[in-house]
Chain A
């Protein structure tokens, strides 16, 4: 049986107030997937000062942060729950 081409992920925003379903190619890196997911979730990518907002995906099943270079098919499973965590500054 061949490896699935895509897997389905459950993605939440940081406060768990919004949930999304993402179908991601297994050959993509997490960084590539995250860029597309952030855009689709319409999360801001810049602060009011114009600085880049950095997001990290937390894999709930393992309680760890995903590295952008990790390959989706190697580290994620179908229906894995991921929380998008921004590094964000109050002033």
Chain B
């Protein structure tokens, strides 16, 4: 539970500066707190075996404009071993809240769909809104503090066998993906035609205490198969999908864990097939929709989780984009592609990987 003693509002303006009003916003500090806890472990300031015990969030007021204008927020994390870590989260954390406000303004007719707007974030002292207890029922439920499932490894050894795909932000957890994961995802995506398909990314969460840092190694993907419902612009993971994934993971016996998921966006192969602008079109299918972000937050809430999107369009072909949590927001990011090998000493022919910066993420 994150302790917060401020009320946050957004002051919204049209693009030309015309005022639209001031609106209170509800902010979920959980993802920012989880990300900050992981950042503390990565920097060697919090114990890898610890779990967050408490967190406090406070606004960082703009140095030029002063209160109540917010330039970011400051988090203080204390883990269950008494260790403390502090970090700042940028004001872009309020972007999802701004989306909610703008949607309401559109519904009320104050903004048109697609119209640009500006906003500033303000904070005012208020009551702690993180301590409200849930209504008492006869069923008691408590979360169990669970340390990260870390495996000892050498980051340098892994990166020496890999090539960077897009630049990784220095605050992002390093992610190494085996080439066969992308290859299999591409094959499955093409086999599905224009319909969406996907799978679960599995592998290891590693720690290199010599750096120190924590990083991901994505070793394989488990396809959703026939248990998921594939449509042109939707992919539904059912209870049977999850059961099949868990069974497959168990059968591998490699102590791998679920690190995230992947899915394809190939609908443009149908919607754009008669388009005359294919030569000049720059449309990308590598984005995370609102539904995709919601699925990621629901099913993969831990700060290290990642999502891969395989996009294919008629004009730009097939490409990949990786997304992960940055300051608690789902954001496009770079990764390292590990060279493939069949264990026989002979490397498989390397295919070029086309990747692009994803779009329409959580705003981070």
Contact = CB atoms under 8 A, between A and B. Distances in A.
Interface of A: 10-11, 13-25, 28, 32-33, 36-37, 39-41, 43-44, 47-49, 53, 56, 58, 63, 65, 83, 85-91
Max count, chain A CB within 10 A of own CB: residue among B140, B144, B234, B239: B239
Give the interface size bracket for B toward A. Answer: 35 or more
A33 B290 CA distance: 30
A19 B243 contact: no
A88 B235 CA distance: 8
A53 B237 CA distance: 11
B106 interface: no
Contact of B305 (A10, A15, A48, A65): A15
A35 B331 CA distance: 32
A17 B298 CA distance: 11
Nearest to A89: B236
A18 B242 CA distance: 16
Given A17-B305, A87-B238, A90-B196, A43 B143 contact: no
18 contacts: A10-B144, A14-B299, A15-B305, A19-B143, A23-B140, A23-B141, A28-B139, A40-B134, A40-B141, A41-B141, A48-B294, A65-B239, A65-B243, A83-B246, A86-B298, A87-B237, A90-B236, A90-B237
Contacts of A11: 141
Interface string B238-249: 110011001100
B333 interface: no
B278 interface: no
A28 B139 CA distance: 9
A13 B301 contact: yes
Given A47-B291, A83-B246, A90 B305 contact: no
B354 interface: no
A88 B143 contact: no
Contacts of A18: 143, 146, 301-302
A71 to B, nearest CB: 14
B43 interface: no
A86 B299 contact: yes
A23 B299 CA distance: 23
B292 interface: yes
Contact of A89 (B134, B139, B234): B234
Given A20-B143, A88-B299, A91-B291, 12 more contacts: A10-B144, A15-B299, A18-B143, A18-B302, A19-B144, A22-B141, A85-B242, A87-B236, A87-B239, A89-B234, A90-B292, A91-B235
Contact of A15 (B139, B142, B258, B294): B258
Contacts of B292: 90-91
Interface in B21-76: none
A8 B125 CA distance: 41
A65 B247 CA distance: 14
A25 B294 contact: no
Nearest to A43: B298
Interface string B131-147: 00010011111111010
B300 interface: yes
Contacts of B233: 91
Contacts of B246: 58, 83
A46 to B, nearest CB: 10
Contact of B242 (A14, A25, A49): A14
Nearest to B148: A17
A16 B139 CA distance: 21
A16 B257 contact: yes
Contacts of B236: 87-90
Contacts of A85: 239, 242-243
B239 A56 contact: yes
B326 interface: no
A51 B146 CA distance: 31
